[in-house]
Structure 1
Amino acid sequence: MPFAGGEFQQERERSDQVRRKIPLNDYTRLLSAYLKPQRKSIIGLSILLLAGIGMQLVNPQIIRYFIDTANIQSSMEPLWYAAGLFIAVSLAHQGITVAATYIGENVGWIATNKLRGDVAAHCMKLDMSFHKSHTSGAIIERVDGDINNLANFFSNFVVSLLSNLLLVAGMLVLLFREGWLVGVSMTLFVLFAIYAIQYIRQFAVPHWSNMRAMSSRFYGFLGEHLEGTEDTRANGATGYVMYRFHMLIREWLPLRIKAFFGWASMWITTLLVFTIGSAIAFAITALLWRQGAMTIGTVYMIFYYTELMAKPIEKIRTEMEDLQKADASIVRIRELLQTESAIRDGVGVPLPSGPLTVGFNSVEFGYEDELTTLQGIDFRLEKGKVLGVLGRTGSGKTTLARLLLRFYDPRMGAICLDDIDIRDTTLHDLRGRVGLVTQHIEIFQGTVRDNLTLFQDGIPDRNIIEVLEELGLGDWYHALPSGLDSRLESGGGGLSAGEAQLISFARVFLSDPGLIILDEASSRLDPATEQKMEKAINRLLVNRTCIIIAHRLATIQRADSILILEEGRMIEYGDRTRLAADTRSRYNYMLQVGMEEMLA
């Protein structure tokens, strides 16, 4: 089976190994971190649960009084009082249960949403090597699926578990008051029940962990291919994708079956335990009643307590089942949160305002699966100047942009902005001062304003409209039904490729960077739109440094300098007009034969 690969098997083995070693303080630390801000709600929930325990312990006593009184008295008045008290206590208990459930669910969702936000923020901070090795679907499954499994763990696991144990302890104390034989028998039964459930649980836990790992793998595959639906259809790969889909489903099914049998084994064990408990209570009370050691009301009370004991034991079993789901999720979330970015934040040296000088000092870099992508890159671009970068596909042009934004760090050498090593500044400051426009545009579901400002407050509407006018999007803006409040669909539905590309330009200029990188940004534009954009860029690049990664000669006519890369090496760098006039230069040769043919 080609998709039951070693990667999945290694993940299963790693998860099992970590799960077996998960210490108790991991649970307490997690609970403390996300429940401490809600301590008032936790205290209220505890009070409600304790009140509910008291009412559950009182009701069987009322029933015993009712039965014994009915046997020895002819007056109905005490029976009416007992019946009314029983109904009142039962109704109060139901009200307390509803209130406790509401508070518990609220606590759980507040805690899980906070954890979900922390995990999502952590993923956003991780470097590109992490995101390249994990599909978006797999990350979503961890952020959403695994954390959903912790909802009950946060909402009432500890409080509910302790309250149910306390309820069982209270019933045992009351049973000991009726006789040591009854108390000892029921205590042994409870110990046996808890041991049996815990013993079965150890066989069920690994299957939940394996199923969560498989779930993550499946949704990673699904998310990846849903994003590439157009390419899949256009290239006739639908059949192959569906084949992989069915193979993954076939691989998932036995894991789900094993997990279900793990759950079923715990459920069946609980049923058997309850049956044994009822048999023990029936036998002991029958014996004592025949000996005259207890009344018929007491017999019913003991039997009622035994039946009632099934509820907290069943609840304990359910909590253990939720814990086994939480085990796998906590391991996976902990692994994710312990994943550190290879890109560390700098000490915070501030970058100056205005245009930035760019310097590459003997830079070498290679991706994880490559020995060298860039080698010996050494140049300086003065502030306010424009650099045109040329080269064949795979020559390292886009890698330059990624290094400038610190998506990756060079293996050797240094990259400086205004003679400040970019590793010494913060990532937030760096990426606020360097703007990148690529040919791949992301349009988010939201308003036009949100898509232009990327959800940042504080940018006046007049500035947004001014930039749209500068970029030639004035007619488009005035045609919007609600202006900047008009909604855009995810993926840019309703926008032309040119409009989407110009929106990405507007984003960069609204952030007012000192350095702008255009990575083949005009490749998706038609000639008319590109001409409109060229005029706008000429005005908007004033007092900014710019690097243009181009595939058309017309695009770099505004460049002051030219850098030509080949197989990760600089083969030419210098003033554009000088290189154009030098018949021995590679750039001059491109002008003569046409860059499109030269770089093919």
Structure 2
Amino acid sequence: MTAATAVAPAPGADEDAGEVRGRSLALLRSLLRPVARRAALTAVVVVVAQLALVAGPALVAIGIDRGIPALRDGDAAPALLVAGGYALTALVAGLFTAATVRLAATVSQAVLLDLRRRVFRHTQRLSLEFHERYTSGRIISRQTSDLEALRELLDGGVTTLAASGLAMVFTAAGLALLDWRSGLVLLVAVVPGVVLTRWFQRRSQAQYRRSRTAAARVIVRFVETMTGVRAVQAFRREAQVAGVYEAEAEEYRAANAEAIRVNGVFDTGLVLIGNVTVAAVLLVGGLRVLDGGLEVGVLVAAVLYARRFFAPLAQIGMFYNSFQSATAALEKLSGLLAQEPTVPDPTRPVRLEQPRGDVCFDGVEFGYGDGPSVLPRLDLHVPAGQTVALVGETGAGKSTVAKLLARFYDPRSGAVRVDGVDLRDAEPTDLRAAMVMVTQEAYLFSGSVAANIALGRPGASPAQIERAARAVGVHDLIAALPDGYDTDVDTRGVRLSAGQRQLVSFARAFLADPAVLVLDEATSSLDIPGEQLVQEGLRTLLTGRTAVVIAHRLSTVMHADRVLVVDAGRVVEDGSPDELVAAGGRFAELHAEWQRSLHGE
């Protein structure tokens, strides 16, 4: 198998923890590099804010021990200076804390915008092979819950960690400078606090990973159920599907409940340790005040510092929750961004400026992923302007030929060429302009009918859009809609029938005016009146261009210049429809069955 057709591993598959961590850190560095200056400024602001906050208890000590005695002696200057200093530090702390929030939000939103763009653009760039095995629910989970986890971390988690760590360091340093004995009491109290925090980290790590996995499963189940809701309702499987969803939702609830329980134990333990520490500082310091070994103001400051010390520790513990959640999310996102297209752009693209549409399959061998060959060897030449129809049983390889021609996949060996240019070397924009594929599912985006037709040629005028609609026989249908061409079709075209959506997709293809047109079961969703309506338009659409038509309905096939009967990836019959009917082979049998169905036999 060539590198072009190798299937890239799923995110996290066959990778050790070191590789995943290194990949995630590399992604994080690339995201932070453009905002490095703002991040550095945020760090400086955090330091100033914490210094201003820690200065408060020290000023209280000075005010009690120096300002009040001086005021009693008639000197108000020390008390006023302390009061002014306290007000100033409070103002600085408030302003710089607010600035921290704004700067952190600016940095986080810039990072998240960059990451959203990367994920969206990269996901679009990935080949069809990736999207066929990576469910839409998982992709949506990357864009929603995983990015939300990172947002929670970046918006306040990082600055909270920095502020909390600095607050603890500055608080301990301030207390040690005021009274080292009270500092020793605080140091002893840190030990059970650290032990409790470490216990919390170990337990929360497992719980948050369980919660993230359960959340992803709920999202995937919901998206897949809503996407396939027609099948669910058609087979009356609502109760069964609801049961599966409720089980996964219950797992998510249980994971969150356990995480909340762990948080409750952690918070309660920290409050207990903090209160005991305050009591110990007050007891030891109070005895020393009675003996004259400690000033009252210093005791008050020591109590204030002790009370402040454990609050940041709780915030650090909560940050660990966000950190674990964001780490798991970053691993998934980096895994997605590490995926490489299995259909890469050419390094030296060849232009297709005026394509004629001469198609050649030269010794093409192909299979999906590591599976067996679907096309053992295909040699096929379709001259420019010829319409070729492929018929055969389901699984014969007809749609595979269409996907290779549209370059959704690359062959394992051999080459698919247009006008002598290997599709792997063709300039991608030129190739997409020269080649249009209309599939069985005519996907319409939310918006107007006109906008959906104009997808074939962005910037087309209303007259050009109407001309394309008239050409394929859909103008009268559109004109009868409430707002005509401006009628909103809603997501997936739910306001139009399957046949009507297919007619709109034909108009889109006609407006694109490609040199090569591929129709993969494009008329299968049309009823008999709808099929009769579109046949004339379809002949107009096929005129003057190379066309490869895959269809089970012979009404479409009979208009082809040439028919290929495909069996197990090989062409077993090749000729005009009349020639193959006269030959009495497999196509003749299909033709006879079709004739009998028309006459109701």
| TM-score bracket for this pair, using the shorter chain length | 0.7 to 0.9
Q: For residues 190 and 132 of structure 2, what CA distance do their matches in structure 1 show?
A: 52
Counterpart position of 1:497 = 498
Instruction: Give the structure 2 partner of residue 267 of structure 1.
Output: 267
The answer for unaligned runs of 5 or more in structure 2 is 1-9
AA partner of residue 302 (structure 1): A
1:467-490 Cα distance to aligned partner (Å, 9 max, x none): 223233334444566665543311
Within 5 Å, give how 1:314-333 maps onto structure 2: 314-333=314-333
Instruction: Tell me the distance in 2 between the aligned counterparts of 1:180 and 1:115.
Output: 48
What does residue range 380-399 of structure 1 map to in structure 2 within 5 Å?
380-399=381-400
- The match for 2:110 is 110
Residue aligned with 1:546, SS: strand
Amino acid at match of 1:501: Q
CA distance in 1, matches of 2:562, 2:15: 56
> Does 2:54 align with 1:53?
no
Structure 1 Cα separation of the partners of residues 284 and 19 of structure 2: 43
Pair 17,341 (structure 1): closer, same or farther in 2 beyond 3 Å: closer
Q: Conserved in 1, the CA contact under 8 Å of 2:479 and 2:485?
A: no
Cα deviation, residue 194, structure 1: 4.3
1:351 aligns to 2:352 (yes or no): yes
Aligned residue in 2 for 1:548: 549
Report sequence identity in percent: 27
TM-score norm. by structure 1 comes to 0.87
Shift of 1:369: 8.0
**Which residue is equivalent to 1:174?**
174
Alignment of 1:451-490 (within 5 A): 451-454=452-455, 457-478=458-479, 486-490=487-491
C-alpha deviation, 1:150, in angstroms:
0.8
**Distance change (3 Å), C-alpha of 1:474 and 1:597:** closer
**Alpha-carbon shift at residue 517 of structure 1 (Å):** 0.7
Say if 1:493 and 1:94 are closer, same or farther in 2 by CA, change over 3 A: same
Aligned-partner Cα distance in 2 for 1:45–1:20: 30
Return the offset for 1:370.
Answer: 5.1
Cα offsets for 1:54-97 (capped at 9, x unmatched): 32022223322333333553359555665565455435533443
Whether the 8 Å CA contact 1:218–1:248 is kept in 2: the answer is yes
Aligned match of 2:302: 302
Q: Tell which deviates more after alignment, 463-472 or 296-305.
A: 463-472
Deviates more, 1:556-565 or 1:178-187: 178-187
For residue 149 of structure 1, report the CA deviation from its aligned partner: 0.5
Q: Would you say 1:364 and 2:365 are equivalent positions?
A: yes
Task: Find the aligned partners of 2:478 and 2:534 in 1 and give their Cα distance.
Answer: 16
**Alpha-carbon distance between aligned partners in 2 of 1:196 and 1:428, rounded to the nearest angstrom:** 59
Residues 97-176 of structure 1 correspond to what in structure 2 (within 5 A)?
Answer: 97-176=97-176
Q: Structure 1 residue 516: deviation in Å?
A: 0.8
The alpha-carbon distance between structure 1 residues 455 and 521, as it changes in their structure 2 partners (threshold 3 A), is closer
Rate the CA distance shift 1:511–1:223 in 2: closer, same or farther, 3 A: same
Q: Counterpart of 1:499 in structure 2: which amino acid? A: Q
**1:90 equivalent in structure 2:** 90
The aligned amino acid for 2:112 is: T
Cα separation, 2, equivalents of 1:516 and 1:80: 86
- 2:491 match: secondary structure: coil
Q: Which has the higher contact order (CA 8 A, sep 6+)?
A: 2
- Residue equivalent to 2:4: none
- Paired residue total: 585
Q: 2 CA distance for matches of 1:181 and 1:28?
A: 42
Alignment correspondent of 1:419: 420
Show the counterpart of 2:405: 404
Question: CA 1:456–1:576 in 2, change beyond 3 Å: closer, same or farther?
Answer: closer
Give, in whole Å, the separation in 1 of the partners of 2:493 and 2:25.
45
Q: Which residue of 2 aligns with 1:538?
A: 539
| Post-superposition CA distance 1:188-240 (Å, at most 9, x none) | 54476346424531332133223322322232222112112122122222222
User: In structure 2, what is the equivalent of residue 442 of structure 1?
Assistant: 443
The DSSP-based 3-state class of the residue aligned with 2:376 is strand
Structure 2 distance, partners of 1:441, 1:153, is 41
Give the alignment's Cα RMSD to 1 decimal. Answer: 3.3
* 1:338 is aligned to 2:335: no
Measured after TM superposition, the shift of residue 588 of structure 1 is 3.8
Take 1:131 and 1:152, find their aligned partners in 2: how far apart are those partners?
Answer: 28
Equivalent residue, structure 2, for 1:226? 226
In the alignment, is the contact (CA less than 8 A) between 1:105 and 1:152 conserved in 2?
no
**Mapped contact 1:147–1:329 kept (Cα < 8 A):** yes
Q: 1:228 to 1:152 in 2, by over 3 A?
A: closer
Displacement of 1:17 in angstroms is: 8.7
Tell me the alpha carbon deviations over residues 423-459 of structure 1, each in whole angstroms, 9 at most, x when there is no partner: 2335554334321112212222233344234498544
Query: Comparing 221-230 with 147-156, which one deviates more in the overlay?
Result: 147-156
The CA distance in 2 between the partners of 1:45 and 1:407, in whole Å, is 46
**Residue identity in the other structure for 1:64:** A
Deviation for aligned residue 1:381 = 0.3
Q: AA paired with 2:326?
A: A
**Residue 60 of structure 2 corresponds to residue 63 of structure 1:** yes
CA distance in 2, matches of 1:492, 1:222: 21
Could you tell me which amino acid in structure 2 is paired with residue 38 of structure 1? V
Is 1:566 aligned to 2:564, yes or no? Answer: no
Question: Which one is further off, 230-239 or 163-172?
Answer: 163-172
Whole-Å separation in 2 of the counterparts to 1:120 and 1:587: 45
Alpha carbons 2:457, 2:512 under 8 Å: kept:
no
- Asked if structure 1 preserves the Cα contact closer than 8 Å seen for 2:446 and 2:488, the reply is yes
Q: What amino acid maps onto 1:37 in structure 2?
A: P
Instruction: State how far apart, in whole Å, the 1-side matches of 2:370 and 2:440 are.
Output: 25
Q: Quick one: distance in 1 between partners of 2:93 and 2:455?
A: 50
Distance in structure 2 (CA, Å) of the matches to 1:286 and 1:484: 85
Q: Structure 1, unaligned stretches of length 5 or more?
A: 1-10
SS of the equivalent of 1:488 reads: coil
TM-score, with normalisation over the residues of structure 2? 0.87
